[in-house]
Amino acid sequence: MRKRSVMIAGHPTSVTLEEPFWEALKELAAAEGIAVNLLIERVDATRTGNLSSALRVHVLAAFRKTAAPDPGPIA
């Protein structure tokens, strides 16, 4: 894990994430055409717990959404 300094909502803070989660955050931000700090700021605005944990959950949810199979027509 690596601690990274980020600027969110106009103030510095740090997050500690494993490299794969950091790379995934960068991919998600790039896909939206935004900076990683802005993505982190968005997650920060909606979180209820620890920021690093919220970022991991955000990454998991985003990748689950893209990996979810099409349920097909609803009967």
Closest residue by Cα to residue 52 from 8, 26, 18: 18
- Measured between alpha carbons, how far is 75 from 53 in angstroms, rounded to an integer? 38
22 found inside a domain:
yes
Write down the pTM of the prediction.
Answer: 0.84
Does residue 75 belong to any structural domain of this protein? no
Q: Report the domain count for the chain.
A: 1
- 3-class SS of residue 14: strand
- The per-residue pLDDT string of the chain (75 residues; one tens digit each, 9 = 90 and over) reads 889 999 888 889 999 999 999 999 999 999 999 999 999 999 999 998 899 999 999 999 999 888 867 667 776
As a dihedral over the C-alpha atoms of residue 45, residue 47, residue 51, residue 55, rounded to 10 degrees, the angle is -100
Which CATH number does the domain housing residue 47 bear? 1.10.3990.20
Buried b (16+ CB within 10 A) or exposed e, 22-32: bebbeebbeee
Supply the range of the domain harboring residue 16: 2-67
